[in-house]
A and B are shown apart, each in its own frame.
Chain A
């Protein structure tokens, strides 16, 4: 049994020595003032445990007493690093340390053989002083652990628990006196003391498995935060705000802020922007700021947290977590930056398109007006060549005008500001006026044939825009028939679908050009068409507008033979419920079956 007692005592002593060595190593790896105080406390405790196993001597006893009291005192100093003690309390602690060391020394030297009650009382003074030094921090850490992240909370509680057990053992030991000197009692207290070693150790350097278990409760919230960061955040500011908020929460800090590479505070949580700006300008001024770098293309920013009273209690764990989080924040900010730049470019482009188009309308108005006056002879009579030139100018100005209108329409479409003004209309009339509009583009080699049914083709459309679509199809047919030929504009209605088919005998479209035909700025350039001008907006707009009407534009083409573009629109019911099939059958040269992409 005696051997078992000795073994238990040796094991406990070894355990505390190992704990002291471990904390010394941790402090060597990560040197902070607070860590130093805790390291001193535990190394002192290890010293007490180790020296206690040596043969007793008065000098050794004095050293043990001093080390023991210092171990408690440094726990208080460790707490002092987070919440500074008031001056009076600090002085009182120093006095208590001096008095208790003195009492301890007296106890093991001059009064060694005095009345056992006095010895016990002196021992009680020592233990009480030690309990005050460690007990106050234990209670404070335990209370403060409620408001900090899971890992930190567990670590603070384990530390508190470890020291609480030590206090309990010491009190029981001293007050129990001889009644607890039985081998069984000694073994039990030694085993309990030994159990404190891993408890305190995990509070200093918890293994990753324990961290994972502790953190489990926060994992979901963290995952959501990361997701927020990488997917949903709408703007740089919003993302930075969330990053600051989550950094505070993850770190258990009192406040946090994000600084961009220019030193500007772009988000702050738990702190005013002005104060954050001041702190960002002098980060070294306050030791309580922990910074993690944000690696951004425009330079290095910072994710900063301001340590709370008890954070960071243990240092590296939270700092490395903050750095990992800062990397995600960097990625999120980069992505938002790119998205915002792209959106900015897109918006600028639309604004430019809009502005340029409106600004172009002014000069075009004047040119168009004067050209029409020249043609009308109002500015004096022109000779034949002059009249020809005026005609060309009129056609070109009109072309320019159409391009401007297309640009404005495209800008409107992209802004989502394009609304249709639909009303009941006769598609025959719309097609006729579109044909009239393009007549100036015809030359002697072209013949425009308008093939209309006898009955009204009722549609509910934006008449101006529908006219623009058809006029665009007709002007394309003219433009892409450089050798001339017949251009047919056929209007039909069947089975609830009204169709305008524009057929030419021109160049046709190569098969590989079809995918880009209806895209924005998508022009099919071939050696035959490269000299022809256009924005590549007409068909894009035409199809978009047709689709807004619930219709579409399709194309059937044979390269070198010509193309048929068909505008389809939902047709209203025929008047009096009559079918116009007869008129249609008579002239149905371009049936729906011929229409394919």
Chain B
């Protein structure tokens, strides 16, 4: 027998540089936290902050996620088209790609297929879409996306909580790693 309780998003674990408490605007996190217990979670390659590439053309969604990610100490690059996403990947490779499916220049599936071709060791890709059709989920996964989430069913904080696991799961990246 169990009585349920509200699974609140509060407080969201902490961040690289700020820790939140109720009724406070946040305090800097002590160095031992960032370098110790949470280091694995919060740091990407070569000890730098985790770098998330969000390929998303809707600015209201991109801004919202940027707010959450930056708050949690991640580095965020937003690409509004698939092409901009590719140029980001050829520069500073991110640790994770969050990919929308409905983009102005091509579909997210095409972006993913091109990623597999042009960047065989690309970082893990998580699809974030407004579409939840089973056929699309299957297609996304068969193209190597490690997760397919419907945007309206998740909050940015839930995404943040799952990012470290995705990065770990993605490992070297590329299709077939899901």
What is the interface of chain A, defined by CB distance below 8 A to chain B?
Answer: 358-359, 361-362, 364-366, 368-370, 372-373, 375-381, 401, 404-405, 408, 412, 417, 419, 421, 432, 435-436, 438-440, 442, 447-452
Contact = CB atoms under 8 A, between A and B. Distances in A.
A383 B25 CA distance: 13
B152 A365 contact: yes
A579 to B, nearest CB: 21
A377 B4 contact: no
A362 B4 contact: no
B26 to A, nearest CB: 8
Interface size grouping (class) on chain B: 35 or more
Q: Which of A372, A378, A379, A448 has the most CB of B within 10 A?
A: A378
B165 to A, nearest CB: 19
A447 B2 CA distance: 11
Nearest to B135: A417
A378 B3 contact: no
Q: Which of B3, B4, B25, B61 has the most CB of A within 10 A?
A: B4
B3 A366 contact: no
Nearest to A449: B1
Nearest to B15: A378
Interface of B: 1-12, 20, 22-25, 58, 60-61, 64-65, 67-68, 71, 130-134, 150-153, 155-157
A369 B62 CA distance: 11
B10 A376 contact: yes
B152 A361 contact: yes
B1 A451 contact: yes
A381 B26 CA distance: 10
Nearest to B22: A377
A439 B67 contact: no
A435 B62 CA distance: 32
B157 A448 contact: no
A439 B152 CA distance: 19
B58 A432 contact: no
Contacts of A448: 3-4
A377 B10 contact: yes
Contact of A372 (B60, B61, B151, B157): B157
Contacts of B1: 449-452
B2 A377 contact: no
Nearest to A397: B152
Q: Which 8 A-B pairs give the minimum distances between C-beta atoms?
A: A439-B4, A365-B151, A372-B155, A361-B152, A361-B130, A364-B152, A365-B152, A372-B9
Contact of B61 (A366, A417, A442): A366
Given A362-B61, A376-B12, A442 B4 contact: yes
What is the interface of chain A mostly: helix, strand, loop, or mixed?
helix
Contacts of A417: 133
Q: Which of A364, A368, A405 has the most CB of B within 10 A?
A: A368
Contact of A375 (B10, B58, B64, B152): B10
A451 B68 CA distance: 38
B8 A375 contact: yes
A361 B149 CA distance: 12
A436 B152 contact: no
Given A381-B24, A419-B134, A436 B11 contact: no
B2 A450 contact: yes
B130 A365 contact: yes
A373 B156 CA distance: 8
A299 B74 CA distance: 68
Contact of B58 (A362, A378, A419): A362
A447 B3 CA distance: 8
Contacts of B58: 362
A438 B3 CA distance: 11
Nearest to A434: B4
A361 B25 CA distance: 31
A368 B152 contact: yes
A335 B4 CA distance: 56
B64 A366 contact: yes
A47 B105 CA distance: 90
A362 B67 CA distance: 17
Contacts of A438: 4
A377 B11 contact: yes
A435 B64 contact: no
A368 B22 CA distance: 20
A376 B61 contact: no
A451 B11 CA distance: 30
